[in-house]
Every structure is written in structure tokens, then in C-alpha cells.
Amino acid sequence: MPCVSNVRGRSTLNNARLSRKFCRRMALLARAFIHRARLMRYILWGMVKEGYYFGLPLLLFGGVAYLAHWTIVAVVLVCLAIFVFWFFRDPERVIPAEPGAIVSPGDGRVVVVTDEEDAGRPGKRISIFLAVWNVHVNRAPAAGVITRMEYRPGKFLAAMRERASIENEQNVFTLSTDAGEMVFKQIAGWIARRVVSWKKEGERVARGERIGLVRFGSRVDVWMPKDAEILVEVGENVKGGSSVLARWLPKISSLHSGERESAGVEANVSAVGRQN
């Protein structure tokens, strides 16, 4: 009987030690997360939902690896989770209010400014390369209605290459604005293999409004008719929604048409008022 009691005592003692060790590890893990809470709050507060889909599983597995004493694996997974949260950040931007401003659809560096025809119409194209460290949320370059939206499957060439504008997978938006019709594209790259649009054909968008994202490195193109005044040069760094790429003032006929429509609405409202 004394032997049985000793065995039970040692077993209870071992369980208590394991419990204390587990509690200490949990406390250390909780302390580490608390110390990083400010950074995590900053990242998670301004992040698109895709960040949660990719980042939270990595963070969870990192916690499990830490508890299982796989320290290096845990550190790698947590670092990857933080990178994913940071990659999918979605900061607020100050949208220019000046008439005719065409803003950048994304963050990055201007790699092409060239004359180019679109469906036989002379115009100009600006291409912007988004590196992995850039914000990848895309924005509408101008206010208007999306009259056509086309998904084009394709290759995944490096987004820096000129052929990427034509051959890579992309979403092509045709936007009808007060100044006329323009085109902009979300283009996948060698690392980015997924173009995501949050808008549909027929929807109205505001200048600088979020319209989608491209995952992990990509390119955006903007095409405008030849009467648009280009304000950027190759090599410039731009911010989506806030940097002005060009100035393209509304046509006089469009302005007059808008004034006539407003006058017609006011007249109808007055007529209804008199009838009542």
C-alpha cells in the first residue's frame, strides 16, 4: 500500500508541475500578445477582410507551434501572419476635390507613360507597378458609371514587363465620366495570381472609391483620351486615391446637359408644388 501511495503522489506532483509549466507558457504567450497589441490593433483596424482569411490561420498555427515547443516554426508563422495583416492594410486617403482630377487606382511606381489607341481612339496610357510592400487595395480613378466590366484570363508574367498589360490575367473596367469614357485595369503579376473586384457593371462609383484588390504584387493601367493632360512621369511614386495622375476636364456639352437636367428637375418640383 505505501508503494501505491508513493506512485500516486509522484503522479499528482508531475501533473501539478505540468500544469504550472503550461500556465507559465500561456502567461508568456499572453504577455507577448499584449506587448504587441498596439501594433496589431493598428494593423487589424484598417485591413480588408481577406487579411483575416489568410492571417488568422497562420497566427493560430503559430500559437499551437509555440505550445508544442516548436519555437522556430512558431516565430516563422507569427511573422508570416503579421506580414499578411500588413499586406492587406487599407488606409484612409484624402481624395482630391479639384474638377477633372484623375487619381491613381493604386499605390506604386509609374513605369509607363505612353501614347496608345483603344478601340481605334487615340489616347494615353499610364501603368503603375505595385510592389509587394505597397497597399494593394485599388480605387476608382474618377467618378462615373461602370458601363462595362470584363474579366480576361491570361498569363502571370512579371508585372514590370510591358507585355503584362496585354497578356496577363486582368479585370478591365470601362468608366463613363462627365468628361467622357476611360478605361482602367487590375492586372495580376508573377506573384499576384488573383484579381478581385468588389464592383459590378452598371454601378456608379465616386472618385477614389475602393473597387477591389490584387493579391501579392501586381499592376494597374489607366487609359484616357488624348485631350487629358498627364501630370506624372515615369519613376514617380504615387498613392491610390490621393495622387493626381492627370487632369481631364468635363466637356462643355456635359456641363450644359447637367445644368438642363437640374433645371428640369427644379421645374417639375415647382409644377408639383403649384398643383398641390
Q: Which domains does the chain have, with CATH numbers?
A: 2-87 (no CATH), 101-251 (2.70.70.10)
CB atoms within 10 A of CB 163: 10
- Distance separating alpha carbons of residues 103 and 85, to the nearest angstrom: 26
Evaluate whether 230 touches 126 at the Cβ level (below 8 Å): yes
State the pLDDT at residue 32.
59
- Evaluate if residue 143 carries a pLDDT over 60: yes
Pairing of strands 137-139, 121-130: unpaired
Q: Is 197 a catalytic residue?
A: no
- Distance separating alpha carbons of residues 94 and 125, to the nearest angstrom: 24
Average pLDDT of the chain to the nearest whole number:
76
Averaged pLDDT for residues 135-163: 83
pLDDT band at residue 103 using 50, 70 and 90 as cut-offs: very high
pLDDT band at residue 144 using 50, 70 and 90 as cut-offs: very high
Q: Percent of the chain at pLDDT above 70?
A: 68
List strands edge to edge, sheet with 237-238.
204-205, 144-152, 170-176, 181-188, 218-225, 121-130, 108-118, 237-238
State the pLDDT at residue 275.
35
State the pLDDT at residue 91.
85
State the pLDDT at residue 9.
52
Which three cell numbers, joined as nine digits, stand for 1?
500500500
The answer to which of 31-45, 55-69, 105-119, 130-144 has the lowest mean pLDDT is 31-45
Averaged pLDDT for residues 79-88: 82
Q: Of 249, 218, 245, give the one whose Cα is nearest residue 233.
A: 245
DSSP summary character for residue 219: E
Which three cell numbers, joined as nine digits, stand for 51?
487579411
Global pTM value: 0.68
Averaged pLDDT for residues 137-164: 82
Tell me the per-residue pLDDT of 5-15, one tens digit each, with 9 for 90 and over. Answer: 454 555 565 55
Tell me the per-residue pLDDT of 249-267, one tens digit each, with 9 for 90 and over. Answer: 887 654 444 444 433 433 3
Strands (E) in 218-260, as ranges, are 218-225, 229-230, 237-238, 244-247
- Distance separating alpha carbons of residues 253 and 116, to the nearest angstrom: 26
Options 176, 218, 253, 262, the catalytic residue: 218
Q: How many helices (H) and strands (E) are present in the chain, helices listed first?
A: 6, 14
Evaluate whether 128 touches 240 at the Cβ level (below 8 Å): no
Q: Of 245, 247, 239, 250, give the one whose Cα is nearest residue 94.
A: 239
